[in-house]
Amino acid sequence: MLHAIVAGGGIGGLATALALANNGHRVTVLERQDVFTEVGAGIQIAPNGFHALNLLGVGAAVRERAVLVDELRLLDALTGERLVVMPVGERYRARFGEPYAVVHRRDLHGPLLRACQNIADVDLVKGAAVREFTQDADRVTVTTTDGRTFTGDLLVGADGIRSTVRAQLLDDGPLRPCGHTIYRTLVPMERVPQRLRRNAVTLWAGPGWHIVHYPVAGGEQLNLAAVLDDGATEAVAGRPTAHETVLSRFPDLDPTPGELLRLGEDWREWVLCDRDPVDVWTRDRVTLMGDAAHPMLQYAAQGACQALEDAVVLGDVLANAPAGDVTDRLAKYEESRRERAGRVQLLAREMGTELYHPAGEQARARDAMLRPLTEDDLHDKVSWLHATPVGAGA
C-alpha cells in the first residue's frame, strides 16, 4: 500500500483520492480552505466524464441531481437565428454509452466528498494550504503554510489553476489571461417564464461575446453566464458585480437572451486564464492533475471531465504499485494523459474565438460551415472527446 498526498480537495483532488483508495492505497488530502466545498454554478458533464465517474463509483449519485439535456444549441444572439443544434438524446446516449448532463457543482463535488468520507484510508485535512515540497529517492515531504509536514510515497498537485505545486515543479511563469470576462448567476426556475425554459444547453453567439444557459440542480435553477471579449488582463475570480453593469455590457441582444439576462441577480465576475500545453508535468514522485496540469478555458466544457479522466488513469497506473515503482508509474500516467489533455486545452481556446465570438465575414463563414451538418456529422465531430478513453471498457 502506498501513501499518497493530494494537494487540493476540489473535484480533481477528491476524484484522485477516490481512485487511489479504490486501488488499495492510503491518501491524505490537504485542502487550504476550512471546508471542503465548491463555489460557482453549473457544470456540463459529457459522457467521458460520466464514464470516469462510474469507474470511480459515484456515477449513479451524480446522475441523481443531474439534468440530462436533449440538445446543445447554438443561436445567433443578434437575430435569434438557429445556427446549429446537436441532439444529445437517445441516439447520442446509445452511441456514447452515457448522457450529456448539466449539474450544479456541489452535486458533483458532494458525491465525491461523501465517497471519500466513507473510506477509512482517506484522510481529509481542512485548513492545510500547501506551501512547498521536498523529495528524495524514497519519499515526498509536503509543508503547509502553518508549518505542518506530511510525508508520503508520492504527491499529486490537484491544487487548481493557480497551483503552488506546479509553481515549484515547473516554474513556468504566470497564467495567460484570455481577455474575456465572464458574468455568472443562478436564477430560480420559477422566475423563468415557461416559454423560455428548455431542456438544453443554449448558447447565443454574438460578435465578441456570448450568453449560455442551462438548467441545473435537478431543474430547480437556471445557470446563466454572459461572456465578453473585453481584453481584460487582471485575473478576477468570483467578484460580485452589479446587475446594471452586466446589462450595460450586452446592449444589442435578441429579445430572448435579453429577457433571460434581465432575470439575473447576484452576478459574479471572473476573468478567464489558461496555459499552453506542456510536455512535462511530473518529476519523480510528484505529479500534477486537473487544472494544475492542464488549465483550460471553459469553452469546451471539459476541465472537470479531463480532471476525472486524470484521476481514473492515476488510479489504474498505481494499482498494485510497489513504492519503488512510483516514479515509473507516474511517468506512465503523464504519458497517457498529456496529448489528449493538451488537445482539449487548444480546442477550448479555438471554440471561443472561432465558434462563439466571430463577427462579420468570419461569422458568416462559421454559419455556412455549421448549417449543413447533420446529427451524425456533429456526433462524429465530438466523438474523440465524448467517447470513453480511460479505464475498463475503453
Ligand X SMILES: Cc1cc2nc3c(=O)[nH]c(=O)nc-3n(C[C@H](O)[C@H](O)[C@H](O)COP(=O)(O)OP(=O)(O)OC[C@H]3O[C@@H](n4cnc5c(N)ncnc54)[C@H](O)[C@@H]3O)c2cc1C
Question: Which of 31/70 has CB closer to ligand X?
Answer: 31
**Considering the rule CB under 6 A, would residue 130 count as an interface residue with ligand X?**
yes
Tell me which residue has cell 488510479: 315
List CB contacts of 131: < 8 A, sequence separation 6 or more.
Answer: 143, 144, 145, 164
Number of residues that bind ligand X (CB under 6 A): 32
Q: What minimum distance in Å lies between the beta carbon of 363 and ligand X?
A: 23
**Considering the rule CB under 6 A, would residue 103 count as an interface residue with ligand X?**
no
**Considering the rule CB under 6 A, would residue 8 count as an interface residue with ligand X?**
yes
**Applying CB under 6 A, which part among 92-100, 277-285, 290-298, 330-338 lies near ligand X?**
290-298
Radius of gyration of the chain from Cα atoms? 21
**Considering the rule CB under 6 A, would residue 48 count as an interface residue with ligand X?**
no
Q: What span, in angstroms and rounded, lies between the C-alpha atoms of 117 and 27?
A: 12
Ramachandran region of residue 80, left (φ > 0), alpha (ψ -120 to 50) or beta?
A: left
List CB contacts of 315: < 8 A, sequence separation 6 or more.
Answer: 16, 18, 19, 20, 22, 23, 56
**Considering the rule CB under 6 A, would residue 56 count as an interface residue with ligand X?**
no
Number of other CB atoms surrounding residue 70 within 10 Å: 18
Instruction: Please list the residues that pair with 155 across neighbouring strands.
Output: 5, 286
Q: Which of 75, 140, 182, 186 binds ligand X (CB under 6 A)?
A: 182
Q: Is 244 exposed, middle or buried (0-12, 13-18, 19+ CB in 10 A)?
A: exposed
Q: Which of 307, 318, 330, 382 binds ligand X (CB under 6 A)?
A: 307
Active-site annotation holds for 183: no
**Considering the rule CB under 6 A, would residue 13 count as an interface residue with ligand X?**
yes
**Considering the rule CB under 6 A, would residue 43 count as an interface residue with ligand X?**
yes
Tell me the CB-side half-sphere exposure of residue 147, using CA atoms within 13 A.
0
Question: Which of 72/318 has CB closer to ligand X?
Answer: 72
Number of other CB atoms surrounding residue 26 within 10 Å: 18
Q: What span, in angstroms and rounded, lies between the C-alpha atoms of 247 and 77?
A: 14
**Considering the rule CB under 6 A, would residue 241 count as an interface residue with ligand X?**
no
Question: Which of 152/160 has CB closer to ligand X?
Answer: 160
Q: What minimum distance in Å lies between the beta carbon of 9 and ligand X?
A: 5
Is residue 134 within 8 Å of 283, Cβ to Cβ? Answer: no
**Considering the rule CB under 6 A, would residue 157 count as an interface residue with ligand X?**
no
Q: What minimum distance in Å lies between the beta carbon of 353 and ligand X?
A: 17
Among residues 214, 299, 333, 356, which one is catalytic? 214
Q: Which of 112, 116, 187, 301 binds ligand X (CB under 6 A)?
A: 301
Q: What minimum distance in Å lies between the beta carbon of 322 and ligand X?
A: 28
Question: Which of 217/360 has CB closer to ligand X?
Answer: 217
Q: What minimum distance in Å lies between the beta carbon of 129 and ligand X?
A: 4
**Considering the rule CB under 6 A, would residue 370 count as an interface residue with ligand X?**
no
Beta strands in 34-129 (DSSP E): 42-45, 67-68, 71-76, 82-87, 101-104, 122-125
Q: Please spell the DSSP secondary structure of 382-393, one letter per residue.
A: HHHHHS--SSTT
Q: Which of 2, 4, 5, 9 binds ligand X (CB under 6 A)?
A: 9
Active site residues: 214
Interacting residues toward ligand X by CB under 6 A: 7-13, 30-33, 43-44, 129-130, 158-161, 164, 182, 270, 290-292, 298, 301-305, 307
